[in-house]
Amino acid sequence: MSRAFLIVMDSVGIGGARDAASFFNDGRPDTGANTVAHVAQACAEGRAEEGRSGFLHMPALDRLGLGAAVRLASGAATPGLEAVPEGAWGAANEVSKGKDTPSGHWELAGVPVPWDWGYFPDRQNSFPPDLVAFVAQAAGTDGLLGNCHASGTNIIEELGDAHIRSGWPICYTSVDSVFQIAAHETHFGLDRLLQLCQDIAPRLHAMKIGRVIARPFTGENGQFFRTPNRRDFAIEPPAPTLLDWAYEAGRVTHAIGKIGDIFSHRGITHLHKGKGDADLMEHLLRLGAEAEDGSLTFANFVEFDSLWGHRRNVSGYARALEWFDQGAARFLKTLRPGDLAIFTADHGNDPTWAGTDHTRERVPVLAAGLGAARLGQLAFVDVAATLAAHLGVPAQGAGRSFLTQTGLKAVL
């Protein structure tokens, strides 16, 4: 029985979104944002030389069709990504109204978001007084620190000492639909932070705030460091997803990285976490070799986004892409005859763009196991429908399997 792998390269967009003009970064529309193309162009022009050099080098994914998918999505030049595709490749369009992690992942798993997300648009005094009072009461403190839009690394540098002195949690948000709480693992307590986030999550979810995120850190005297013990308390998907479809059909499902948090741990047999993407790659390589026949493995690699995209660090983003490509090449060698592996993304985060937010873009769909094929323009939900068809489990979403549309089947 064949296996399925869905691998999300968080924020690795390829431009060309039809509705990009409706999404903004610091007041500038996302029209023209293109994460992969702009990184490749910066590399070719010598503008991404920190810790690496030369053209963007991603031979494994380019052979699957990455460069071709960028050109299909947006017509942009992709210096260094010009291979003739040997995989099945296309570009997918999102219909959900957010350019955030839950929207992209849920829609890739067959469930577009049917509502408008709630946000905190004010950059200072971001949270309404009644919510501030509610969170402070839940924390057992007289108040909160932060209450603003902020970078997670910057705000602990600015307020970490005050947090230790006062015991008040640091609460902040961004242009995403999130409520984040940073707290010191020792002085505040990791278990206390996680319990606080769990306790307040239902109130935030009722406001259609997508995630309450615990952001623990350690350190002293202004030298603070976030730890890998982050936890997302996400609103539940509004309908069964690909994970539920497979799980209910009796298939083993593996979730690597943030997938458990994003899907509220629904439809998951085994969860595989790690301190960073290097640990997650080891999980993917191990499951490529060992995952059960008929199983679904769903992985998220987040550091493109969290470490480099939001910080608008082009060299770092390029290094992450090249590192991931090396891991992808190793993973592809673990696949068995009949397996299907799809590499895709959930949104963009162009490190050359204005602001610090995600960018509205199409995403690549690169399939290993089907031979060479041009899939064309797809919907996010087509990814879920395809993997369900490959596994032989009933799909409950609106997507169309590109196996059915093209007559392809996994042969590897």
Instruction: Return binding residues for Mn(2+).
Output: 10, 305, 310, 346-347, 358
Three-class DSSP category at 386? helix
Torsion of CA 370, 373, 378, 383, to 10 degrees: 10
Give the whole-angstrom CA distance, residue 214 versus residue 201: 11
Task: In whole angstroms, give the CA distance from residue 270 to residue 22.
Answer: 38
Per the annotation, where are the binding residues? Answer: 10, 305, 310, 346-347, 358
Tell me the CA end-to-end span of the chain in Å, nearest whole number: 14
CA distance linking residue 100 with residue 176, whole number of Å: 6
Alpha-carbon separation of residue 362 from 192, 194, 298, 354 (angstroms): 39, 34, 20, 18
- Token pair belonging to 67: 């460069």
Can you tell me the distance from the alpha carbon of 305 to that of 315, in angstroms, rounded to the nearest whole number?
13
Q: 28-58 in b/e burial notation, b at 16+ Cβ within 10 A?
A: eebebbbbbbbbbbbbbeeebeeebeeebbb
Q: How far is CA 409 from CA 39, 53, 289, 343, in A?
A: 33, 39, 21, 17
Residue with tokens 């976030």: 226
For residues 161 and 169, give the distance between their C-alpha atoms in angstroms, rounded to a whole number.
12
